[in-house]
């Protein structure tokens, strides 16, 4: 294969060097110096392949010329480890396939000019890179292979198939088996692989921290905090000036507590609750006042803006703010005076908001609860602050009931969790379902975010509203609505699409509630989520479809989300004086934060997939039960019961026949046997292959339960 690869590139070079000249296989062989008949036959095969790809044109029988015709486009090259590369045009038209052969050594993210090709074997267009206009600075991660004479980085990124040559003098002490971050320095057209240098040794390949750092780098995310900013944070005073306390409402005498996961370190929200003389309840939602410590345009602020949010990988957290800020000065730790931005609600027994006040406060949390502790109090009626917790739960359920009545979509797909040993090797995988304690906190955070957005929307400046950051979520576009209708039909339910956004969401809720099988419902929830639009940040308020809110923002997590910090600043500005700010500046920040959120969420999902694959290692050959979670032309996705490990069954493992894919009905059907695989079908599968670094799990079909 290596010799054929080299020969193929030599032949391509000959055609490119003389683009107007005709060549036969004999002439090509003579140019290269091939006399062996077997090698000449190989030249003939390569010419056939190049002609089939339309790389060369057969002008007359057995005589070929370089194909230098076709439209050209400029855009971005998207590299893939599989070789199924894409060219993304600048004009917004759909991506176009680029084979590895036609990539001209382009790398993921490079700006390129391509020539359009049309394969003889089908109508789908392909492209050939004819020029690399701008090289992106390329860094890749992988595992070092080191000998006495040279070294290679064996890349493992899903966006890179190449290995990198590294001179031993550029290893920075790297040894065989190390996980390394490498910068690509050059890639000559005549070379099979690029040359590079080691930037940093991340640790031993397979080590938890090293693999998580590599995953962050793969998604373009930072994995450590700059030293000079860590030092700058150390200079921030711990004590709160009395002058600052005097200008705030003092809630230190009111019973207040936090509720967080057991392993949480940054507590950015707290609740207080007390009964008023009129029988209503005063509920305070107290959010860490990060803006007091992080001032605009400082080094810490610029770094927080760049990161946009904290990253929570499995067993590895990369905070948006330096540790001293996020885990100490801003965190609402029990027994410590803390500065907050609070929303104080007056709620009646039915959960109606009778009054609210948005104000700066100082609090002292009395207790730090875990979700499990609060859930136990709700179930047993015993424990600290049981009266406050039980009334908050009752009010939260009232709020939740009204929200769903107004059309909010009800998903209850719990998150995947791991029990790990001291080396972070997964010993157990389980699904943590949301309980009443989780829902209690969620409901008051939703109420707070909505109230803040409504308050600013109602602050009218002359001729226009205030510039503000909203969290919006659009209704599914028409083609996705059609897929949702088809999905519901697959399970015998008809969605109502004729009564506006709220009517559609209520109908969708009824459909989701009609699925009684727990495993099946989990898959349907996931597919519905995939068909939804992505929520994003913007200064244009168009409402939140999924929550059924006309006004919504993110205010409650400024320790871990930069948009929340921006919301705090804008809100403080508007509460202090009647003014407005430049919308374009904040819209640009919204776009940046929305883009970073996609990268962060993708990294977090990949960390779960990595640990799931690591958990499945050593189980090859074992049989598992699962459910078909997706159906496509290339095969099936199957999610295993209880542990939610998702793996693929390529279509070639389904049977020795051709399968037809029906996208609307979510089916794959064999032409000869009529064997049908449908979304939601239970299946038995055997584990065939696992690769944690690639986050890949592959199954073969053992038995399926066809309907």
User: Which pLDDT belongs to residue 688?
Assistant: 95
User: Which pLDDT belongs to residue 181?
Assistant: 92
Q: What is the pLDDT of residues 73-110, one digit of tens each?
A: 899 998 877 777 889 988 777 888 888 888 888 888 88
Whole-angstrom Cα distance, residue 223 to residue 233? 18
Inter-residue contact 368 to 267 (CB < 8 Å): yes
User: Which pLDDT belongs to residue 540?
Assistant: 93
Report pTM.
0.82
User: Which pLDDT belongs to residue 469?
Assistant: 96
CA 653 to chain centre: 29
User: Which pLDDT belongs to residue 69?
Assistant: 60
3 state SS of 22: coil
Could you tell me which residues are beta bridge partners of residue 182? Answer: 140, 198
Beta strands in 633-675 (DSSP E): 635-640, 646-650, 659-662, 667-670
Maximum Cα interatomic distance, the chain, rounded to a whole number of Å: 102
Written as one string, the DSSP assignment of 58-76 is EEETTEEEE---S-EEEEE
Given a cut of 50, the residues of the chain with pLDDT beneath it are 120-123, 704-707
User: Which pLDDT belongs to residue 108?
Assistant: 85
Inter-residue contact 653 to 701 (CB < 8 Å): yes
Inter-residue contact 321 to 290 (CB < 8 Å): yes
Q: What is the pLDDT of residues 526-543, one digit of tens each?
A: 777 777 888 999 999 999
Whole-angstrom Cα distance, residue 273 to residue 287? 15
């Amino acid at each position: 294969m290596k010799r054929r690869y080299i020969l193929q590139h030599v032949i391509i070079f000959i055609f490119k060097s003389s683009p107007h000249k005709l060549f036969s296989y004999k002439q090509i062989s003579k140019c290269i110096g091939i006399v062996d008949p077997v090698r000449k036959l190989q030249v003939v095969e390569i010419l056939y392949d190049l002609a089939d790809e339309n790389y060369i044109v057969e002008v007359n029988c057995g005589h070929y010329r370089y194909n230098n015709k076709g439209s050209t486009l400029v855009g971005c090259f998207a590299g893939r480890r599989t070789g199924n590369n894409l060219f993304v045009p600048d004009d917004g038209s759909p991506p176009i396939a680029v084979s590895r052969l036609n990539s001209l050594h382009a790398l993921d993210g490079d700006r390129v000019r391509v020539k359009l090709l049309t394969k003889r074997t089908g109508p789908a267009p392909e492209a050939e890179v004819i020029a690399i206009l701008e090289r992106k600075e390329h860094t890749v991660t992988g595992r070092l292979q080191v000998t006495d004479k040279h070294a290679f980085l064996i890349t493992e990124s899903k966006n890179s198939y190449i290995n990198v040559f590294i001179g031993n003098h550029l290893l920075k002490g790297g040894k065989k088996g190390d996980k390394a971050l490498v910068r690509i320095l050059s890639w000559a057209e005549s070379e099979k692989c690029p040359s590079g240098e080691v930037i940093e040794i991340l640790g031993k390949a397979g080590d938890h921290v090293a693999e998580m750092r590599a995953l962050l780098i793969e998604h373009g995310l930072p994995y450590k905090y700059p030293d000079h900013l860590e030092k700058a944070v150390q200079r921030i005073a711990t004590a709160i000036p009395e002058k600052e306390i005097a200008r705030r409402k003092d809630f230190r005498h009111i019973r207040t507590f936090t509720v967080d996961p057991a392993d949480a370190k940054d507590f950015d929200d707290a609740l207080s609750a007390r009964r008023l003389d009129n029988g209503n309840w005063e509920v305070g939602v107290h959010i860490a006042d990060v803006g007091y410590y992080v001032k605009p345009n400082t080094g810490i602020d610029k770094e927080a803006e760049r990161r946009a949010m904290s990253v929570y990988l499995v067993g590895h957290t990369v905070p948006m703010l330096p540790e001293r800020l996020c885990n100490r000065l801003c965190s609402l730790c029990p027994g410590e005076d803390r500065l907050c931005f609070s929303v104080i609600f007056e709620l009646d027994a039915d959960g109606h908001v009778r009054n609210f006040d948005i104000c700066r406060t100082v609090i002292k949390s009395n207790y730090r609860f875990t979700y499990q502790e609060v859930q136990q109090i709700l179930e047993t009626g015993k424990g600290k602050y049981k009266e406050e917790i039980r009334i908050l739960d009752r009010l939260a359920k009232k709020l939740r009931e009204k929200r769903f009545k107004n059309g909010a979509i009800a998903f209850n797909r719990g998150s995947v969790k791991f029990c790990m040993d001291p080396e972070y090797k997964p010993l157990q995988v389980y699904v943590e379902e949301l309980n009443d304690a989780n829902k209690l906190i969620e409901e008051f955070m939703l109420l707070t975010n909505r109230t803040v957005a409504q308050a600013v929307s109602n602050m009218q400046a002359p001729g226009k509203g205030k510039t503000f950051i909203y969290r919006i979520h659009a209704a599914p576009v028409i083609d996705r609505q059609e897929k949702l209708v088809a999905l519901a039909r697959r399970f015998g339910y008809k969605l109502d699409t004729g009564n506006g956004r709220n009517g559609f969401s209520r109908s969708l809720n009824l459909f989701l509630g009609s699925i009684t099988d727990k495993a099946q419902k989990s898959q349907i929830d996931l597919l519905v989520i995939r068909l939804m639009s992505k929520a994003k940040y913007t200064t244009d308020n168009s409402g939140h479809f999924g929550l059924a809110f006309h006004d919504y923002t993110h205010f409650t997590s400024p320790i871990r989300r930069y948009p929340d910090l921006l919301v705090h600043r804008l809100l403080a500005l508007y509460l202090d004086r009647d003014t407005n700010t430049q919308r374009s500046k904040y819209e640009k920040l919204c776009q940046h934060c929305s883009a970073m959120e996609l990268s962060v969420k993708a990294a977090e999902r990949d960390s779960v997939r990595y640990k799931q694959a690591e958990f499945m290692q050593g189980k090859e050959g074992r049989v598992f039960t699962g459910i078909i979670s997706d159906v496509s032309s290339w095969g099936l996705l199957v999610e295993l019961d209880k542990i939610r490990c998702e793996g693929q069954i390529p279509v070639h493992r389904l049977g020795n026949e051709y399968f037809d894919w029906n996208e609307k009905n979510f089916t794959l059907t064999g032409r000869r046997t009529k064997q049908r695989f449908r979304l939601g079908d239970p299946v038995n599968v055997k584990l065939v292959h696992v690769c944690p670094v690639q986050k890949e799990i592959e199954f073969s079909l053992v038995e399926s339960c066809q309907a």
